[in-house]
């Protein structure tokens, strides 16, 4: 067994033009003052990290890590969620996902894809320079528009989709292998990797590449009505990253999983601050500890009701209260005795 590390916080949703959320120093002090021990850094926010420099300069990485450490914090992972999304975009989503790309690559899907691939590669090198062995990302999606099979999917479409997805990711995964970093895909609606079966399809398509791993976020499974506890039983060996985010699913006579095109507050399935939804985090932390998952518990705030400030304040003590210190002692050892082979035979009447 292994004790889950934490509490940590994903900085992405808190970035703002106002202090303290517009500088690395400001966000580090804010997070530390709230009781967090780690930060997950979104690499598309250049004021938090210059990924080009981080991939080229050990000095820059040492200084960056030193600054974060000076606040009593550790960097848990670098996140390339937005860049990973752009590794694979179906043309139906081109205009909306262009918002994630630098201006120089907008309206040019081929150049945008290549930029995304090279950027995610840089995060592997930067992670190694920062002493990290895990990174977080999205898979992107070529097939999501076909997830409900109407019109009928022609035979071979899904296989070809995963073959192409793997083709784009394999050169990236090889760079992560070269740098000793596991790449954790957040299993998420909208991505081709959105449940257990699709993760297995991708793993197989990559030839079971050893750097293909999972960022486990149970909130996405509640919205899919997937058993998020048993998921850990199936995939614990791949879970190398963990988002603590809550959600709830409350269908009624008018709306269900599809949500009726409603805003988040109007949907049957919606994300909530940790502790405000339906997720059984006690069982999750128990499972992760029992299986020895070496992860940081990283609070991700996405809530359509509670403010980010309150969510952040409550997140650290919530995580801290759920972390289980893995025991090194068997509770009934006091009633045992030394092992004697002859005694064992007598007990068995041999």
Domains of the chain plus CATH, in order, are: 5-347 (3.20.20.150)
What Rg do the C-alpha atoms of the chain give, in angstroms?
22
Q: What is the pLDDT of residue 167?
A: 98
Q: What is the pLDDT of residue 335?
A: 56
Q: What is the DSSP string of 3-48?
A: PPEEEEEE-GGG--SSTTTTSHHHHHHHHHHTT--EEEEETT-TTT
Cis status of the peptide bond prior to 2, with omega within 30 of 0: no
Q: What is the mean pLDDT of each run of 10 residues along the chain (350 residues)?
A: 97 97 98 98 98 98 98 98 98 95 96 98 98 98 96 97 98 98 98 98 98 98 97 98 98 96 96 98 98 98 96 98 88 66 89
> How many other C-beta atoms lie within 10 A of the C-beta of residue 291?
16
The SS3 assignment for 61 reads: helix
Q: What is the pLDDT of residue 343?
A: 87
Residue 291's closest CA among 252, 243, 234?
A: 234
CA distances 113 to 28, 169, 251, 279, 335, Å, are 32, 11, 37, 36, 63
> How many other C-beta atoms lie within 10 A of the C-beta of residue 329?
7
């Amino acid at each position: 067994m292994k004790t889950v590390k934490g509490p940590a916080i994903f900085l992405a949703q808190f970035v703002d033009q106002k202090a303290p959320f517009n500088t690395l120093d400001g966000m580090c002090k804010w997070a530390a003052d709230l009781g967090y021990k780690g930060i997950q850094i979104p690499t598309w926010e250049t004021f938090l990290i210059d990924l080009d420099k981080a991939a080229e300069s050990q000095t820059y990485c040492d200084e960056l890590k030193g600054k974060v450490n000076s606040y009593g914090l550790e960097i848990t992972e670098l996140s390339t969620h937005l860049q990973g999304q752009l590794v694979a975009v179906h043309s139906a989503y081109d205009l909306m996902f262009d918002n994630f790309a630098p201006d120089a690559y907008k309206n040019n899907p081929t150049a945008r894809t290549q930029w995304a691939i090279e950027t995610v590669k840089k995060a592997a090198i930067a992670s190694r320079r920062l002493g990290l062995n895990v990174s977080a990302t999205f898979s992107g999606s070529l097939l999501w528009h076909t997830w409900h099979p109407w019109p009928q999917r022609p035979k071979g479409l899904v296989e070809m989709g995963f073959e192409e997805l793997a083709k784009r990711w394999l050169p990236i995964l090889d760079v992560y292998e070269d740098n000793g970093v596991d790449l954790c895909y957040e299993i998420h609606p909208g991505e081709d990797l959105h449940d257990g079966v699709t993760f297995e399809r991708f793993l197989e398509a990559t030839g079971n590449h050893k750097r293909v791993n999972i960022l486990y976020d149970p909130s996405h499974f509640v919205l899919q009505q997937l058993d998020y506890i048993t998921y850990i039983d199936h995939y614990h060996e791949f879970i190398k990253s963990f988002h603590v985010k809550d959600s709830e699913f409350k269908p009624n006579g008018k709306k269900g999983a599809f949500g009726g095109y409603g805003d988040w507050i109007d949907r049957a399935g919606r994300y909530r601050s940790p502790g405000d939804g339906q997720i059984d985090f006690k069982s999750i932390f128990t499972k992760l500890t029992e299986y020895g998952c070496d992860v940081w518990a990283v609070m991700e705030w996405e809530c359509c009701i509670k403010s980010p400030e309150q969510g952040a304040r409550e997140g650290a003590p919530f995580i801290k209260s759920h972390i289980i210190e893995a025991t090194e002692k068997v509770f009934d050892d006091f009633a045992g005795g030394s092992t004697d082979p002859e005694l064992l035979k007598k007990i068995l009447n041999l």
